[in-house]
Chain A
Amino acid sequence: MEFFSPTDLLGSSPILALGIFSLIALMANALLKNSARVVFFISVAGILAAIGCAVSIFPMNATAFSDMLLVGGYASFFSVLFLVIALFSMFIAKPYLEREQFHYGEYYVLIMLATIGMVMLGSSADLITAFLGIEMMSVSFYVLAGYFRGKLSSNESALKYFLLGAFATGFLLYGIALIYGTTGTTNLLRIVTMYPQAFNDPLHIIGWGLILIGFGFKVAAVPFHMWVPDVYEGAPTPVTAFMSTGGKAAAFSVFVITFSVPMSMRDERLIMILAVLSAASMLLGNWFGLSQTNLKRMLAYSSIAHAGYMIIGIASASSIGQQGIAFYLVSYALTNLGAFGIITMLEKENGGNLNYEDYAGLGKRKPGLAALLAMFMFSLTGIPPFAGFIGKYYLFASAVQSHLTWLAILGVITSLFSTYYYLRIIVYMYFREATNHEEIILPKLTFVTVILCGAGIVLFGIFPSLIFDLMKSIF
């Protein structure tokens, strides 16, 4: 009997590449002195190798390890997205950690380990791989959130994230157990065929409900959002950038795959539950966003609201909705990485310079930086020609197509709310006089990353077909 087929090895090659390189990086970190730079380069090499693997298996459309992992297509698309996010967040992190004098190699290793979890999530065809991926990602995030171990805010953020994340895992796992018990399999491809019979079993429906709670926590949807603002505010800023983009994208990629099973029945009750989750997230996220003064906290509430927009795509249960989610995740990742990149450049020690007032007069002091930040805020609001607009357009269109017009209207109205707090920062940058005149030093690596993000959102905003053509072969 053979244990591995070539498809298995090829299909898991991005995971294997990341795993091997993270072990090499860990060894280098243990054996060399002053190894942070070396580990950084090993990690970048590992991520580039994994991107190469993921791109090369894109045309394959198969499953590996007896239907445990998806190979190619959808899985490759999301793997590349997660890997690019990881790469950019490393670029943002390096100058920041050097400035904070807390630059150790473990940081990059943890980012790579979390990325392994994400790649597993994006390619999971089985509830077991979904569970393992979520845990691998989350456990790395708990450590990363508490990375500044001498800082109370970082400790507190890690503890809150850990307790609530592990709590959510319990629900997710119970849901998996009930679905396994009522269908006799954990494989999503096989549950689809079992679904019509199992659907009459209340235990099965409870199982899906519990899984929904687990995913709700991970994607930060209301009413499972309590951890988000505290964790995002307390964690080191580059970690927040990574969690809010990579973590959210990974959670959504598995949310879409998993819920395509119960959504295939087009059950009105489930659509209603998802629509209400989405509406609540959009309303509460944007409502609390209005009153924030701290930028990291504002972006945390904005992240809740964006989770709401993306759940529209799942509730509409159409391929246009799924494409909308995938596009939205790309644009959201680039936008948020760029915005957080700018925040890391301007942040002062001990969480200073994070309020709206601190950005007063930035338009005169650093015009380039201010213009980029303004672009990111426009994209988050959903103003053309930036990528955020196209993503929202597709999601709202999918809602209208699936007779959820009220959800689309609510989405537009809440986007209108959100302009207040996104554009407020632009008002501060351009129409207020600067209060402090300290020299701003821009680290080159972060600045280049931010420019790349900006270029990405303009490019995908003007030529969205670059991504949609790719996705036609996926969904």
Chain B
Amino acid sequence: MIPLSHYLLLSAFLFSCGVLGVVVRRNAIIVFMCIEMMLNAVNLSLVAFGQFLGDATGQMLVFFVMVVAAAEAAVGLAIIISLFRNKQTVNIDEINILKW
């Protein structure tokens, strides 16, 4: 059987990739995809913990996370579209009428 630490390391790696992507990439949609990757990395560790603890809470929480991620995707893409209609760009460096 694959030990728990392997799952956790993979999950930590995916999470770090997501964080790095959010910090480095400038395209709003790619930043958003990286955030989704962070959430799914967490899902992986939740499922692994649930399996190893023999407890269903972890698996159940994953469903909540998936629902929340879907809601966030709907709202987030709508926001990006309404911004694109007004400005014709999704590059977050060009979105700067409010000073950062």
Contact = CB atoms under 8 A, between A and B. Distances in A.
Interface of A: 128, 131-132, 135, 139, 142-143, 146, 149-153, 155-160, 162-163, 166-167, 169-170, 173-174, 176-178, 180-181, 184-186, 203, 226, 229-230, 233-234
A174 B19 CA distance: 12
Given A155-B83, A170-B35, A139 B64 contact: no
B42 A177 contact: yes
Given A135-B72, A153-B97, A173-B39, A162 B61 contact: no
Interface of B: 8, 15, 18-19, 22, 28, 31-32, 35, 38-39, 41-42, 45-46, 48-49, 53, 55, 57-58, 61, 64-65, 68, 71-72, 75-76, 78-80, 82-83, 86-87, 92, 95-100
Contacts of B28: 159, 163
Contacts of B49: 177, 180-181
List of 4 A-B pairs having minimum Cβ-Cβ separation, nearest first: A170-B38, A181-B49, A155-B83, A230-B98
A252 to B, nearest CB: 22
B64 A230 contact: no
Nearest to B41: A174
Contacts of B39: 169-170, 173
Nearest to B86: A152
B80 A170 contact: no
Contacts of A184: 53, 55
Given A159-B95, A184-B55, A132 B83 contact: no
A142 B79 contact: yes
A152 B57 contact: no
B15 A233 contact: no
B88 to A, nearest CB: 11
A131 to B, nearest CB: 7
A132 B68 contact: yes
B79 A159 contact: yes
A173 B42 contact: yes
